[in-house]
A and B are shown apart, each in its own frame.
Chain A
Amino acid sequence: MSNPSQISPAKDAQMRVEIDRSLRHPVMFFFTSGAAWLAVSLVLGIIASAKTHSPTFLGECGIFQYGRSFPAHINTLIYGWGAQAGFGVMIWLMARFARQPSKNAGTILTAGHIWNLCVLIGTIGILAGHGTGKHWMQFPTFVWPVMLAAYAVIAVWSIVAFRCRKNNHVYISQWYLLGAIIWFPWVFLTANLYVNVFDVHPLMAAAINGWFRHALIFLFFTPIAIASAYYISAKVSGRAIYNYSYSIGGFWALAIVAPWAGMQTMMGSPIPVFLQYVGAAATMLVGVPLLAAGVNILKTASGQQETVAYSPSLRFSIAGVFGMLLLAFASLILAHPSAMRFTQFTIAGYGYDVLAIYGFFSMCMFGAIYFIVPRITRREWLSRRLIRTHFWFSIYGVLFIFLFCTLLGGFQQGAAQENYTQPWIQAVANTFPFTVGMTVAWCFVLYANFFFFVHLALMWLRLGRRSSHPTLLRREHSALGPHGPEGDIEELESAKA
Chain B
Amino acid sequence: MTFKSFLIGMCLSFGMAWMFVIAIPTAKMNNLSPVKMNNEEDAPYYQHKRSGRVLNGAEIYASNGCYACHTQLIRPTYAGRQIWRDDMAGVVDSDGNDSRRETTYFDYAGEKYAQIGLMRMGPDLSNVAYRIEKYAAATNLSAEQWLMEHLYNPRNNKLRVGEGGELMNMDWSNCQAQHQMFKKSPVVGQGNVLALREKTEDGEEIVPKEDALVLASYLMSLRRDDVVPASMNNAPVESAEDAE
Binding site for B on A (CB under 8 A): 51-53, 55-56, 60-63, 65-68, 70-71, 129-135, 162-163, 170, 175, 178-179, 182-183, 186, 190, 194-195, 198-209, 211, 219, 248, 252, 255-256, 259-260, 263, 265-272, 275, 278-279, 337, 340-341, 344-347, 349-350, 413, 417-418, 420, 424-425, 427-429, 431
Contacts and interface: CB of A to CB of B under 8 A. Distances in A.
B64 interface: yes
B175 A431 contact: no
A211 B75 CA distance: 19
A427 B120 contact: yes
Interface stretch (B19-27, B44-52, B186-194): B19-27
Contact of B69 (A53, A66, A272, A279): A66
B81 A259 contact: no
B111 interface: yes
A347 B120 CA distance: 8
B65 A71 contact: yes
A61 B113 contact: no
Contact of A202 (B69, B79, B111, B121): B111
Contacts of A268: 73, 75-76, 78-80
A205 B119 contact: no
9 contacts: A55-B175, A61-B180, A65-B64, A131-B63, A178-B6, A205-B114, A219-B14, A271-B25, A420-B81
Given A162-B3, A271-B25, A252 B9 contact: yes
Contact of B21 (A183, A198, A278): A278
Interface stretch (B102-110, B136-144, B197-205): B102-110
A201 B29 contact: yes
Given A132-B62, A275-B21, A60 B75 contact: no
A248 B1 contact: yes
A269 B61 CA distance: 20
B113 A133 contact: yes
A131 B62 contact: yes
B151 to A, nearest CB: 11
A344 B14 contact: no
B10 interface: yes
B174 A428 contact: yes
A170 B4 CA distance: 13
Given A179-B10, A269-B73, A429-B172, 10 more contacts: A52-B121, A52-B174, A63-B180, A67-B64, A132-B63, A182-B7, A206-B116, A268-B75, A350-B119, A424-B123
B162 to A, nearest CB: 10
Shortest 5 CB-CB distances between A and B: which pairs? Answer: A67-B65, A133-B62, A62-B180, A268-B79, A268-B75
B113 A195 contact: yes
Give the secondary structure class of B's interface: loop
Nearest to B60: A129
B226 to A, nearest CB: 15
Nearest to B88: A420
The winner among A51, A63, A271, A420 for most chain B CB atoms within 10 A is A420
B33 interface: no
Given A201-B26, A205-B113, A428-B174, A269 B65 contact: no
A55 B79 contact: no
A60 B176 contact: yes
B120 A269 contact: no
A202 B113 contact: yes
A52 B120 CA distance: 11
B84 interface: yes
B232 to A, nearest CB: 8
Interface string B13-46: 1101110011001101110100000000000000
A418 B81 contact: yes
A129 B123 contact: no
B177 interface: yes
B127 interface: no
B173 interface: yes
Interface of B: 1, 3, 6-7, 9-10, 13-14, 16-18, 21-22, 25-26, 28-30, 32, 58-59, 61-69, 71, 73, 75-76, 78-82, 84-86, 88, 102-105, 107-108, 111-121, 123, 154-155, 172-181
Nearest to A417: B120
A420 B87 CA distance: 11
Contacts of B62: 131-134
A378 to B, nearest CB: 34
A159 to B, nearest CB: 9
B68 A418 contact: no
Contacts of A203: 29, 105, 108, 114, 116
Given A179-B10, A420-B81, A425 B65 contact: no
Nearest to A64: B176
B111 to A, nearest CB: 5
A275 B17 CA distance: 11
A428 B172 CA distance: 8
Contacts of B119: 345-347, 349-350
B105 A420 contact: no
A115 to B, nearest CB: 23
A344 B174 contact: no
Contacts of B65: 65-68, 70-71, 131, 133
Contacts of B67: 67, 133, 135
B17 A202 contact: no
A186 B73 CA distance: 30
Nearest to A260: B17
Contacts of B178: 62, 65
Contacts of B105: 201, 203, 270-271
A345 B25 contact: no
Contacts of A418: 80-82
Contact of A133 (B29, B79, B84, B115): B115
A275 B9 CA distance: 23
Given A252-B13, A259-B18, A272-B28, A68 B64 contact: yes
B176 A67 contact: yes
Contact of B26 (A51, A134, A200): A200
B29 A51 contact: no
Contacts of A207: 25
Contacts of B173: 55, 428
Contacts of A425: 172
B98 to A, nearest CB: 15
A5 B61 CA distance: 61
Nearest to B115: A133
A168 B186 CA distance: 78
